[in-house]
């Protein structure tokens, strides 16, 4: 059962200040309405994982580890490998996160990261079959939120894709008796796309990208778009309670694509982002 | 994919005989349950969704109550027999996400500040699922809330649109949802002209997204007319 959560208390003065600034096109941390916080990342920092990425977006920090194991394909997709995305909002990331199994926020986050990767066909699932209908590789993507400074969605999608890019698969093959054997071969996971998600915070019909924690607490609602490299939209999610006018949805979609292009050129190549 | 079934023929007719902008037949039975404060059986094509509302009532445990408004407690659940293959009765990640998404869609319209320190319970049971159940669930929940006499800023009307065989079509059925290229559930509040739920998964160009959004709003307006008619009909009867 999903139950109303208590809204964080945001002081009236701060809210008023924020709104006044927004109507002049500035934000409380002096960013422009369409300006992201600094993004930096490191890949491969967890040696025992098959792929990993630690990504910071302003004060938000997300670690994604990828493990590839053997498993069974789903019955309705016998010719494809399996992708599993899980997210944990660790209690050390924020006082508002509680220990225990993933709650609805964590589940919604994991499912959005999953949709962004799956619908853009980023992981080439067809290349992960070993024996059709019987054995395939299962790619586990675990999103670990280490520090919650607002905009978990964009940080998680980026970190997940960076970790997948970093993933090496230990190859299994069938021997002459049809038995599955681990080989010495290691291959990079084959990726087809580079999805980028762009999140907007909305307060009193004013929207801006990449809400910080302070801004998130004052926001009425959020809208996220995920774009493929070619500019298609592969996932959309509205989060929290407020309302959005349809015309603004279209404006955000168009601005979002502009930002997605900027971020993906920033993220392609290089090991350290704009650090 | 060469083996893919054709879902829309040359004349623009879909597998169930509808045109691309047509909704499935909708049937609304208000007050379906005897004991809930408000209830509805909402049928849209093969979808059969039962929604019920209890409250506003006292909150247990006490610490969950809020001093300035009512809390909403929403459960969206699919019956084990509602789908082609049996669904385990344990709550799935999908059901947990959708319960939250539906609660968010309703929180923006229910005037919770009128009932501080209380809880309003909304239960959505999908008895038979045939695509578009989350938006049908929100549509049904709004009817059950109105039936329970809970004040709202407006009525939430939901409809899914999607991309099937390269075309933007309204109110996907099960095969179109499974085989189609994209699915976009929307909940719209006609009296406010605003969107309270928006999701999409699949692949769409930005132009298609624009087209889908406007088709979704048109479809939601049709659903809204039916909601209003159903509510009026029931209360005209009560008056007599």
* DSSP codes joined into one string, B20-69: TTPPPPEEEEET-SSSSSEEEEEEETTEEEEEEEEEEEE-SSGGG-BTTB
Domains with residue ranges and CATH for chain A: 12-268 (3.30.230.70)
**C-alpha closest to that of B48 among B17, B65, B25, B31:** B25
pLDDT at B89: 95
CB-side neighbour CA atoms (13 Å) of B34 = 0
What are A102's two structure tokens? 């993933």
pLDDT at A8: 80
pLDDT digits over B20-55, tens only? Answer: 999 999 999 999 999 999 999 999 999 999 999 999
Gap from B134 CA to chain A (nearest CA, Å)? 14
pLDDT digits over A168-227, tens only? Answer: 999 998 888 888 888 999 999 999 999 999 999 999 999 999 999 999 999 999 999 999
Cβ neighbours of B83 in A, within 8 Å: none
pLDDT at B3: 55
B7 touches chain A (CB under 8 A): no
Residue A197 CA to its chain's centroid (Å): 7
Mean pLDDT across the stretch B214-232?
A: 97
pLDDT at A120: 97
Q: Is the pLDDT of residue B231 over 90?
A: yes
Number of other residues whose CB lies within 10 A of the CB of residue B89? 10
The domain ranges of chain B are 26-235
Q: Does domain B26-235 have CATH number 3.20.20.150?
A: no
A132 touches chain B (CB under 8 A): no
Q: Looking at A90-133, which runs of residues are DSSP E strands? A: 129-131
A259 touches chain B (CB under 8 A): no
Gap from A243 CA to chain B (nearest CA, Å)? 5
What is the DSSP track for A143-204?
EEEEE--S-HHHHHHHHHHHHHHT-EEEEEEE-TTS-EEEEEEEEEPPB----EEEEEEEET
Verify whether the Cβ–Cβ distance B203 to A119 is below 8 Å.
yes
Gap from A251 CA to chain B (nearest CA, Å)? 10
pLDDT at A273: 42
Nearest-Å Rg of the Cα atoms of chain A is 20
**C-alpha closest to that of B154 among B136, B135, B137, B139:** B139
A239 touches chain B (CB under 8 A): yes
Q: Which of A89, A116, A236 best tests the B interface by mutation, with the highest count of B CBs <10 A? A: A236
pLDDT at B2: 43
pLDDT at B197: 97
Q: Is the pLDDT of residue A239 over 90?
A: yes
pLDDT at B235: 84
How many residues does the structure list for chain B? 240
Q: Is the pLDDT of residue B127 over 90?
A: yes
With both helix axes pointing from N to C terminus, report the angle between A246-267 and A152-165 in degrees, rounded to the nearest 10.
40
pLDDT digits over B62-107, tens only? Answer: 999 999 999 999 999 999 999 999 999 999 999 999 999 999 999 9
Q: Which of A197-201, A231-235, B9-13 has the lowest mean pLDDT?
A: B9-13
Gap from A31 CA to chain B (nearest CA, Å)? 27
Gap from B240 CA to chain A (nearest CA, Å)? 37
Confirm if A115 and A234 have CB atoms less than 8 A apart: yes
Q: A129 — phi, psi (to 5°)?
A: -85, 140
pLDDT at B194: 97
What is the DSSP track for A39-88?
EEEEES--TTSSEEEEEEETTEEEEEEEEEEEE---TT-TTS-EEEEEEE
pLDDT digits over B150-179, tens only? Answer: 999 999 999 999 999 999 999 999 999 999
Contacts with A, B 58-77, CB within 8 Å: 64, 66, 69-75
**C-alpha closest to that of A57 among A148, A144, A141:** A148
Strands A135-147, A129-131: pairing is: antiparallel
Q: Is the pLDDT of residue A271 over 80?
A: no
Number of other residues whose CB lies within 10 A of the CB of residue A73? 23
Q: What percent of chain A has pLDDT over 70?
A: 97
Verify whether the Cβ–Cβ distance A4 to B213 is below 8 Å.
no
Verify whether the Cβ–Cβ distance B195 to A246 is below 8 Å.
yes
Verify whether the Cβ–Cβ distance A234 to B201 is below 8 Å.
yes
ipTM of the complex in this document:
0.93
Cβ neighbours of B70 in A, within 8 Å: 4
Q: Residue B162: helix, strand or coil by DSSP?
A: strand
B135 touches chain A (CB under 8 A): no
Q: Is the pLDDT of residue A241 over 70?
A: yes
- In sequence order, which residues have a C-beta less than 8 Å from that of residue B179 and are 6 or more positions away? B4, B5, B7, B164
pLDDT at B218: 97
What are B37's two structure tokens? 């404060």
């Amino acid at each position: 059962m999903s139950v109303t959560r208590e809204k964080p208390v945001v002081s009236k003065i701060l809210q008023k200040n924020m709104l006044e600034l927004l109507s002049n096109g500035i934000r409380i941390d002096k960013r422009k309405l369409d300006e992201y916080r600094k993004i930096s990342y490191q890949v491969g920092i967890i040696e025992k994982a098959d792929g990993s990425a630690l990504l910071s977006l302003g004060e938000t920090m997300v670690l994604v580890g990828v493990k590839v194991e053997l498993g069974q394909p789903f019955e309705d997709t016998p010719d494809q490998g399996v992708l599993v995305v899980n997210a944990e909002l660790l209690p050390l990331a924020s006082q508002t996160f509680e220990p225990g199994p993933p709650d609805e926020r964590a589940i919604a986050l994991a499912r959005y990261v999953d949709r962004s990767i799956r619908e853009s066909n980023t992981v080439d699932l067809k290349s992960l079959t070993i024996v059709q209908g019987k054995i395939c590789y299962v790619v586990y993507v675990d999103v670990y939120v280490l520090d919650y400074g607002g905009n978990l969605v964009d940080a998680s999608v980026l970190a997940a894709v960076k970790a997948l890019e970093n993933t090496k698969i230990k190859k299994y093959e069938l021997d002459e008796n049809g038995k599955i054997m681990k080989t010495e071969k290691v291959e990079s996971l084959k990726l087809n796309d580079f999805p980028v998600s762009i999140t907007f915070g909305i307060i009193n019909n004013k929207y801006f990208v990449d809400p910080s924690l302070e801004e998130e607490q004052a926001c009425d609602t959020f809208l996220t778009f995920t774009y493929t490299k070619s500019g298609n939209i592969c996932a959309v999610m509205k989060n929290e309670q407020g309302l959005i006018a349809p015309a603004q949805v279209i404006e955000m979609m168009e601005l979002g694509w502009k930002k997605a292009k900027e971020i993906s050129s920033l993220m392609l190549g290089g090991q350290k982002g704009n650090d | 994919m060469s083996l893919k079934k054709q879902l829309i023929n040359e004349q623009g007719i879909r597998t169930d005989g509808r045109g691309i902008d047509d909704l499935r037949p909708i049937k609304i039975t208000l007050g379906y349950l005897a004991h809930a404060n408000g209830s509805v059986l909402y049928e849209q094509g093969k979808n059969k969704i039962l929604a019920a509302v209890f409250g506003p009532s006292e909150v247990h445990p006490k610490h969950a109550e809020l001093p300035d408004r009512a809390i909403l407690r929403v459960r969206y659940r699919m019956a084990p027999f509602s789908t082609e293959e049996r669904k385990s009765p344990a709550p799935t990640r999908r059901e947990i996400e959708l319960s939250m998404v539906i609660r968010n869609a309703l929180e923006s319209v229910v005037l919770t500040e009128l009932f501080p320190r209380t809880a309003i319970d909304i239960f959505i049971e999908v008895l038979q699922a045939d695509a578009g159940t989350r938006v049908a669930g929100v549509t049904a929940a709004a009817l059950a809330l109105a039936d329970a006499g809970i004040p709202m800023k407006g009525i939430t009307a939901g409809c899914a649109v999607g991309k099937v065989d390269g075309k933007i079509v309204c109110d996907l059925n099960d095969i179109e949802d499974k085989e189609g290229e994209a699915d976009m559930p929307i909940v719209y509040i006609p009296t406010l002209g605003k969107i309270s739920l928006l999701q999409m998964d699949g692949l769409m160009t930005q132009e298609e997204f624009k087209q889908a959004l406007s088709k979704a709003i048109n479809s939601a307006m049709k659903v809204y007319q039916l909601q209003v008619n159903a509510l009026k009909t029931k209360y005209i009867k009560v008056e007599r």
